[in-house]
């Protein structure tokens, strides 16, 4: 049970600020904004069935997907919270057509960070009370400080991330993040509204027994992916593996990191580039995976090495326990 003996998120950031190569005070303020927004979204998610914020909002996002009411609310909460703290110079959201340039009230503002965010991952599960989450990614801008941000500040490869994380709104609410020095998880104590360190130094087991993929699309997958799924199902050694697929990336990833497994969203004959977004989902999750002794690839390419070409770019995504991803790679390489 969580108690006062556990470090709070704020205390942990201060105690470990030496591991962050940039200005630690700015990072602390930025995480304070994300933490506050997460608590507000958590409150809204938990009361969603009691008020009129379930179902579709009647609009579609830039990808042509129906926006859920809670999607829009979560997007507004994170954007406004980050704006109000005046710590970032730009925001890009999966729910917005274009990036948002933030002009500080201070004419001499020195804000150096941009945030890319998926405000409510897995929102198609909202109406059926399944866990959803938030994914965020933080970069240092590449254009001159004090000027309006430009598209190149956001189109950076994942290996340039200075921090990334996710919040999972489930039976408990957890915030998991990395600044490039390991992965740590914090659980919200709802009684006092504080995140406590509950999962220090999180690691993917090198081997796992869970594979997570939408097998309903099996017929459309590339042959290498089909062969790997068949391999997972064969009765040999520690196989067959267990199939577990929630449909919320945050939830599937979180389970696999704790128990050992692989998550797959391949390209197919109906989704030529896959479905997941490089900047809002794949890059931050890949950063976390690699910091937790896992691997993340987009086929034959390391996710973090992909050079983005557009804000809402989609890529195939495979990540999880190291040996499982390596084995998948062997099957994919057969069909070069």
| 88-93: strand order across its sheet | 100-101, 88-93, 113-121, 132-140, 163-169, 173-178, 183-189, 194-199
Flag whether 118 is marked binding: yes
Q: What's the rounded Cα separation, in Å, for the pair 21 and 181? A: 10
Flag whether 120 is marked binding: yes
Flag whether 127 is marked binding: no
Flag whether 268 is marked binding: no
Q: Helix or strand or coil: residue 151?
A: helix
Flag whether 106 is marked binding: no
Bridge partners, residue 261, by sequence: 210
- Measure the CA dihedral 20/25/29/32, to 10°: 60
Evaluate whether 155 touches 137 at the Cβ level (below 8 Å).
Answer: no
63-82 per-residue burial string, b: 16 or more CB within 10 A, e: under 16? eeeebbbbbbbbbebbbebb
Q: What's the rounded Cα separation, in Å, for the pair 185 and 132? A: 16
Flag whether 124 is marked binding: yes
Flag whether 269 is marked binding: no
CA distance to 39, 65, 149, 223, 301, per residue, from 52 (Å) = 19, 20, 36, 44, 43
172-193 per-residue burial string, b: 16 or more CB within 10 A, e: under 16? ebbbbbbbeeebbbbbbbeeee
Flag whether 90 is marked binding: no
Flag whether 111 is marked binding: no
Give percent helix, percent strand, percent coil of the chain, each to the nearest 5: 35, 25, 40
Query: Residue 11, preceding bond cis, omega within 30 degrees?
Result: no
How many angstroms separate the first and last alpha carbons of the chain?
A: 50
Binding residues for Mg(2+): 94, 118, 120-121, 281
Binding residues for substrate: 121-124, 214, 245, 275
Binding residues: 94, 118, 120-124, 214, 245, 275, 281
């Amino acid at each position: 049970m969580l108690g006062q003996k556990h470090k709070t998120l704020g205390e942990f950031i201060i105690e470990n600020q030496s591991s962050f190569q940039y200005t630690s005070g700015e990072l602390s303020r930025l995480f304070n904004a994300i933490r506050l927004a997460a608590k507000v979204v958590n409150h809204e998610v938990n009361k969603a069935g009691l008020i009129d914020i379930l179902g579709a909002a009647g609009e579609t996002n830039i990808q042509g997907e129906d926006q859920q009411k809670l999607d829009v609310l979560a997007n507004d909460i994170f954007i406004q919270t980050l704006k109000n703290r005046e710590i970032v110079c730009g925001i890009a959201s999966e729910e917005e057509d274009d990036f948002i340039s933030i002009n500080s009230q201070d004419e001499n503002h020195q804000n150096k960070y941009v945030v890319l965010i998926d405000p409510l991952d897995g929102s198609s599960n909202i109406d059926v009370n399944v866990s959803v989450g938030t994914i965020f990614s933080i970069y240092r801008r590449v254009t001159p400080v004090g000027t309006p941000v430009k598209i190149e500040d956001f189109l950076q490869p994942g290996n340039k991330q200075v921090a990334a994380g996710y919040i999972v709104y489930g039976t408990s609410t957890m915030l998991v993040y990395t600044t490039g020095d390991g992965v740590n998880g914090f659980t919200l104590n709802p009684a006092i509204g504080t995140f406590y360190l509950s999962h220090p130094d999180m690691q993917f087991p090198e081997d796992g027994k869970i594979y997570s993929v939408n097998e309903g699309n099996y017929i459309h997958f590339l042959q290498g992916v089909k062969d790997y799924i068949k391999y997972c199902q064969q009765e040999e050694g520690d196989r067959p593996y267990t199939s577990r697929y929630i449909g919320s990336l945050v939830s599937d990833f979180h389970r696999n990191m704790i128990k050992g497994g692989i998550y797959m969203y391949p390209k197919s004959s109906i989704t030529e580039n896959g479905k997941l977004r490089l900047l809002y989902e794949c890059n931050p999750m890949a950063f976390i995976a690699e910091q937790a002794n896992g691997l993340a690839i987009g086929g034959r390419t390391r996710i973090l090495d992909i050079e983005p070409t557009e804000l809402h770019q989609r890529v195939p995504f495979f990540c999880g326990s190291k040996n499982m991803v390596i084995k998948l790679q062997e099957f994919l390489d057969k069909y070069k």
